């Protein structure tokens, strides 16, 4: 056998072995989603017993990266970790809820100012996220 043909066979074997190695590594989890263990977190944000829609919910853990969500029309939310996975790092969290304020439209000269202009409101609360099971939280925002 000539050396040129032997070199091509060796090169093909290397490609086959590397491809097989990458496939096995992917199946075993190497190169997959990595990061801390997360506890699933969902909940409802209310004020005076009524759901708060379109408010920002952020969970800031004592250690690790935050998780966040926006409430739907019924005040419900499901947290997503900063890498897009559902949940939050287990442990104590400072919860920051931001209720948007009333925005002023640009003046045109003929319009009246809105009667009530509200600035954004922030509400803080401390909660504990468990790694096991599902954390279903009811957060009542004070006025």
Per-residue pLDDT tens digits for 58-106? 999 999 999 999 999 999 999 999 999 999 999 999 999 998 887 666 6
Identify whether residues 18 and 46 lie together within a single domain.
no
Identify whether residues 108 and 129 lie together within a single domain.
yes
Identify whether residues 20 and 48 lie together within a single domain.
no
The answer, as to whether pTM is greater than 0.85, is: no
Identify whether residues 113 and 54 lie together within a single domain.
yes
Averaged over 127-132, what is the pLDDT? Answer: 92
DSSP 3-state helix, strand, coil percentages of the chain (rounded to 5)?
20, 35, 45
Higher pLDDT, 62 or 1: 62
pLDDT digits (tens, 9 = 90+) for 26-49: 444 444 457 899 999 999 999 999
Whether 134 has a pLDDT exceeding 70, the answer reads yes
**Total domains in the fold of the chain:** 2
Identify whether residues 78 and 98 lie together within a single domain.
yes
Identify whether residues 56 and 73 lie together within a single domain.
yes
Identify whether residues 28 and 55 lie together within a single domain.
no
Identify whether residues 26 and 44 lie together within a single domain.
no
Q: Which domain holds residue 109?
A: 40-140
Quick one: pLDDT at residue 25? 43
pLDDT digits (tens, 9 = 90+) for 12-25: 554 444 444 444 44
Identify whether residues 106 and 71 lie together within a single domain.
yes
Identify whether residues 85 and 22 lie together within a single domain.
no
Report helix, strand or coil for 103: coil
Identify whether residues 10 and 62 lie together within a single domain.
no
Output the domain CATH number for residue 74.
2.60.40.10
Sign of CA dihedral 67, 72, 78, 83: negative
Identify whether residues 64 and 127 lie together within a single domain.
yes
């Amino acid at each position: 056998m000539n050396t040129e043909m032997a070199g091509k066979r060796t090169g093909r074997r290397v490609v086959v072995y590397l491809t097989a190695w990458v496939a096995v590594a992917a199946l075993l989890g190497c190169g997959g989603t990595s990061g801390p263990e997360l506890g699933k977190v969902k909940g409802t944000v209310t004020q005076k017993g009524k759901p708060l829609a379109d408010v920002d919910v952020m969970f800031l853990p004592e250690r690790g990266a935050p998780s966040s969500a926006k409430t739907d029309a019924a005040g419900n939310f499901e947290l997503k970790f900063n890498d897009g996975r559902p949940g939050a790092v287990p442990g104590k969290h400072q919860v920051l809820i931001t209720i948007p304020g009333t925005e002023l439209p640009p003046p045109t000269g003929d319009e009246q100012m809105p009667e009530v202009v509200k600035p954004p409101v922030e509400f803080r609360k401390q909660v504990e996220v468990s790694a096991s099971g599902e954390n279903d939280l009811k957060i009542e925002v004070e006025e």
